[in-house]
Chains A and B, each alone.
Chain A
């Protein structure tokens, strides 16, 4: 592999300041584990491998070490369970902020936990007791990452969604993926002007850009301004007008962002077991819509003709689940702008027609058998999108959207969302930036939820409006999105999803129901997903949700949102490092009660990321009050099903279609009782 060799050389140079000959000796490893015995053993083994080892026993310490010395480490190895922060959250943060490869390790070898590692972007997962053989080759992850970064930069967004999609789907860490993206990048390289730059060792070595909150917000604003499909690094760079920022920086960040958005949408889908995600997406859409343009959700609702009741139900469902709503990383809300309100409207129209077409709808929903109104989908899509953008900006919100969310779920989510939204996570942004993508997804989901709920309610749901960041989704939107358990949106954790850009894959996997994911109709979803992921990427690129495109995007959004939500669910549980620790890892989301407790604990102050993740998760769980929804689908943490059910129900109500139409058989849930 010429790249590999090349990378290797440059990498070693970059990493060890000239130890190329001895590479991988001198690899700078940061080990994080709260158990002293394990830490000592690991350190010993790593030293034997001739690596430079730094050990710490707290995630926070690790983060500060990494932040203080951004280019001081090549790879991080972290345990999953840590007292001050969930390992997965740390994983996401590192991926987003520093873009370092992270290896997770655990005494647990449960499939779910390992899956979480994958979905959160871990480049490897080691089971204790760890052997030195496992550590000898960790350098490959460093090389691979650098190589991918290089490739991604050369091929960046400009290539269009295909490439990115391909790359992201290729998962940075899998060899097969690498080959795929490699090929792409190779091709691109030839075409790209950057190729020349790339060949420059310095490119590989270039110092990492710290995507601060402000920078990220600028980025998101630029992306939104350009439109997700038109947002190419070059233009984004121009719009941002940040001295010293290179196109490559933007390109790689854009890719992550897209992945994040995808993850958000994917998560949402997962969570609701299709239904939820769908709902969330929809809601998110709604939310985003309203917030985006400050349009009243009601208006939207009216436009989309979503029965208030349905919305309420959805919201309730969503809210019900997410006790922890506040978690939503509201920061994303700011992104509302990204979503264009108009779009949703368009969606509605489209949705309507599709509405009758149950099957179609399902597609949108991602498997949500219910006849989610296309509009809803659209909304979701929007929301999802907005969420994405919102995530980025959620911090800014302070959210009134939270209030919206509250309505939805009235319960917890309310508090959560608001919290999240209000927590404005601005401070959080830095960490959430990494997560924004995730949040966005959440936000989208949340927004969708809100949107749905709102319309039903006629509350003029503006979940998003408040902070104008329609994204209310996860970050801010959480509150807005749907007070319902939707808190998912707020799941700051969402960001964690995208931590490493593993998002695309995660979504797919999630959708497919890894470990029992939900989606009964996941095949649809996956189809959509693939289809959509492409679109999603495009859309994400623009972060602006275009209603017109939505029909397709909706679907994809939904898919993405679902997956994102689903992911988020994961992440949120984990991200809640704030103490929330949803310790939900693997905890079924459906236990709304549990989730709620956990989530609720989350204070607004929690980082957006957490918010999202948690909210998303929460939202979902709460959604399914009755768990009749087949929620048990994986979304371990979310009650996606609830959302789905609610969503489906709503659709049914709207379309007059009976539950039977739902592929997912969500008949169980009863949205009607959700207090609006």
Chain B
């Protein structure tokens, strides 16, 4: 990658993700190795997809938790999916919060689960905000290379 200011910014931002624990360095580096010339947009597509799906999952979780009675199957499925996808892209904090939520939920404590969900939403919102910027920069950097 060329070492333009854009790239440098990208690099700094990327590192900040790791430093703040939002993304797992190892996993992200690993994913980056999967990207190649044939599929240069792999990482940004992945992040974009995650942003989209994770928002959906969290909305579903919220709905399910607020429902009376609580929609267990949906909760389970959504939490599970969120856990899997966040682990797959290395979104550590989200993965952690999801695990906490799952545990609390499995313990049967709905109220605590709601609290945990709020925390998850916060983390997610924070992560999303930053990732959106990062993906934008990624695209921009690529375009600048063409």
Which range contains the number of A residues in contact with the other chain? Answer: 20 to 34
Segment of A37-45, A114-122, A181-189, A234-242 engaged in the interface with chain B:
A37-45
Interface extent on B, as a size class? 20 to 34
Judged by a CB distance under 8 angstroms, whether A79 is at the interface is yes
Cβ of B132 under 8 Å from chain A: no
Nearest-CB residue, chain A, relative to B76: A583
Cβ-defined contact, B34 with A132, below 8 A? yes
> What residues of chain B lie closer than 8 Å to A48, measured between beta carbons?
34
Is A128 part of the binding interface, using a Cβ–Cβ cutoff of 8 Å?
Answer: yes
**B43-68: which residues lie under 8 A (CB-CB) from chain A?**
45-46, 49-50, 53
* Contact call B90/A129, Cβ cutoff below 8 A: yes
B21 at the interface (CB under 8 A from A): no
In the assembled complex, how far is the CB of residue B9 from the closest CB belonging to chain A, in whole angstroms? 25
Q: How far is the CA of A37 from the CA of B56 in the complex (A)?
A: 13
B72 touches A38 (CB 8 A): no
Q: A45-B34, A81-B77 are in contact. Are A107 and B46 (CB under 8 A)?
A: no
| Chain B residues with CB below 8 A from A35, complex form | 53, 81, 84-85, 88
Q: In the complex, which of the residues A37, A40, A83, A107 has the most CB atoms of chain B within 10 Å of its own CB atom?
A: A37
Q: In the assembled complex, which residues on chain A have CB atoms less than 8 Å from the CB atom of B45?
A: 40
Contact B72 A583 (CB under 8 A): yes
Of B27, B45, B53, B84, the most chain A CB neighbours within 10 A belong to B84
Question: Which chain B residues border A672 with CB–CB below 8 Å?
Answer: none
Q: Assess whether B87 is in contact with A107, with CB atoms less than 8 Å apart.
A: yes
A108 CB–B CB distance under 8 Å: yes
Interface-centre pick from A36, A79, A83 (highest chain B CB count, 10 A): A36
Which residues B68-93 have CB closer than 8 A to chain A? 72-73, 76-77, 80-81, 83-85, 87-90
**Given A81-B76, A583-B76, A128 contacting B88 (CB threshold 8 A):** yes
Map CB proximity to A onto B18-49 as digits: 1 under 8 Å, 0 otherwise.
00000000010011001000010010011001
Contact with A along B115-143 (1 / 0, CB 8 A): 00000000000000000000000000000
Question: Could you tell me if B84 and A107 are in contact, using CB atoms closer than 8 angstroms?
Answer: yes
Say whether B88 contacts A38, CB under 8 Å.
yes
Which of B30, B31, B88 gathers most chain A CB within 10 Å? B88
A79/B49 in contact, CB under 8 A: no
What is the interface of chain A mostly: helix, strand, loop, or mixed? loop
A37 and B50 contact, CB distance less than 8 A? yes
B42 close to A34 (CB less than 8 A): no
Across the interface, do A41 and B88 meet the contact criterion of CB distance under 8 Å?
yes
A128 touches B84 (CB 8 A): yes
Q: Mark A66-91, 1 if CB is under 8 A from B, else 0.
A: 00000000000001010100000000
Flag if A108 contacts B50 (CB, 8 Å).
no
Contact in complex: A107, B80 (CB < 8 Å): yes
What's the least CB distance linking A443 to chain B, in Å? 28
Instruction: State A128–B27 Cα separation when bound (angstroms).
Output: 11
Measured between beta carbons, the chain A residues less than 8 angstroms from B73 are: 581, 583
Question: Which listed residue, B34, B39, B42, B85, touches A38 by the CB 8 Å rule?
Answer: B85
What's the Cα separation between A266 and B39 when bound, in Å? 49
Q: Kindly list chain A residues whose C-beta atoms are within 8 Å of the C-beta of B83.
A: 107-108
Tell me the nearest residue of chain A to B24, going by C-beta: A129
Chain B residue nearest to A48 (CB atoms) is: B34
B contact residues around A36 at 8 Å (CB)? 49, 53, 85
**In the complex, A86 Cα to B85 Cα: how many Å?**
18
Find chain A residues with CB under 8 A from B85 CB: 35-38
Q: In the complex, what's the smallest C-beta–C-beta distance from B65 to chain A, in angstroms? A: 16
A130 in contact (CB, < 8 A): yes
Using CB atoms, name the residue of chain B closest to A105: B84
A79 surroundings in chain B (CB, below 8 A): 84
A206 at the interface (CB under 8 A from B): no
Q: How far is the CA of A581 from the CA of B85 in the complex (A)?
A: 22
Q: Are A130 and B88 in contact (CB under 8 A)?
A: yes
**CB atoms of B31 and A81 under 8 A apart:** no
Residues of chain A in range 381-431 having any CB-CB distance to chain B below 8 Å: none
Contacts of A81 in B (CB 8 A): 76-77, 80-81
* Chain A hits for B34, CB < 8 A: 41, 44-45, 48, 132
A111 interface residue (CB < 8 Å to B): no
Contacts of A208 in B (CB 8 A): none
Starting from the known contacts A44-B34, A129-B27, 6 additional A-B residue pairs (CB-CB under 8 Å) come to A33-B84, A34-B81, A38-B88, A45-B34, A83-B77, A106-B84
5 residue pairs bridging A and B, Cβ less than 8 Å apart: A37-B88, A38-B88, A107-B83, A108-B83, A581-B73
The 8 A-B residue pairs with the shortest CB-CB distance, nearest first, are: A107-B84, A37-B85, A107-B83, A129-B88, A129-B87, A35-B81, A81-B80, A35-B85
